[in-house]
Amino acid sequence: MGYVISLWTPPALAVAGSSDSFPVRRIFCVGRNYAEHQKEMGGDGREQPFFFLKTEFALVPRGGGVHYPAKTSNYHYETELVVALHKGGRRIDAKRANDHVYGYAVGLDMTRRDLQQWGKDHGRPWDFGKNFDESAPCSDLAPASKIGHPAKGGIWLNVNGKPRQKADLSDMIWSVPEQIAYLSEHYTLEPGDVIFTGTPAGVGPVKPGDELLAGIDGVGELKVRIVPAL
């Protein structure tokens, strides 16, 4: 018995300071997890966050050249702390949730804002706005065994050298342990699952030729260059 097409290698993130890598199973993303970003998206800053997913094949490990995607004229960056789980489970207690975390990275939840808005306006899914090719550039993973579990520290993005996003991880509405606990009420979490933990205010459009440098103090940096559409 064999497979009728060749098997693929699971998408993976490199582990900083090591030749090993972390295979990625699913990508959960939290929406509107910083009050100032809720407001810029039209909310009142007091809503509960919520989740959506991207497939692991949206990852662009280590960033680099990312193609301007098809079918959009409003392509946005969203800088986010990424959490990688090495232990799964269900109904995880927030107090013990950090034990499930292997490490942290800097990610960009790239968004076709016009398609996302069309979905919102028509009560349709967000997938085409959020889950598309190359929509999840992500840095190497910094293991929690080396950096601990960052609950505060700067999160920022420069575009062509100009500051566009700047906030602190402590501004999150749902903390990382709370996000893990909440998700594990709805899914059986598995080793390899990762969470994009939401973006602060300052989201905006980019175009081919733009250079993005995203960083989280104590975690790492991620560089992306937008290249012309395929």
Joined together, the tokens standing for residue 26 give 């699913």
Closest separation between CB of residue 17 and Mn ion, Å?
27
Number of residues in contact with Mn ion under rule CB under 5 A: 3
Is there binding between residue 136 and Mn ion (CB under 5 A)? no
CB of 52 to Mn ion, least distance (A): 9
| Cβ neighbours, 10 Å, residue 3 | 6
Under a CB-based contact definition with an 8 Å cutoff, are residues 77 and 203 in contact? Answer: yes
What phi, psi does 36 have (nearest 5°)?
Answer: -65, -30
143 or 198, CB closer to Mn ion? Answer: 198
Under rule CB under 5 A, residue 131 binds Mn ion: no
The amino acid occupying position 30 is V
91-110 residues near Mn ion, rule: CB under 5 A: 109
For residue 189, give the DSSP letter: B
Chain position whose Cβ is nearest to Mn ion: 109
Considering only residues 180-209, where is the footprint of Mn ion by CB under 5 A? 199
Binding mask 55-94 for Mn ion (x = CB under 5 A): -----------------------x----------------
CB of 229 to Mn ion, least distance (A): 22
Min CB(33)–Mn ion separation in Å: 8
The alpha carbon torsion through 153, 158, 163, 168 (nearest 10 deg) reads: -20
Strands (E), 24-63: 27-31, 50-54, 59-61
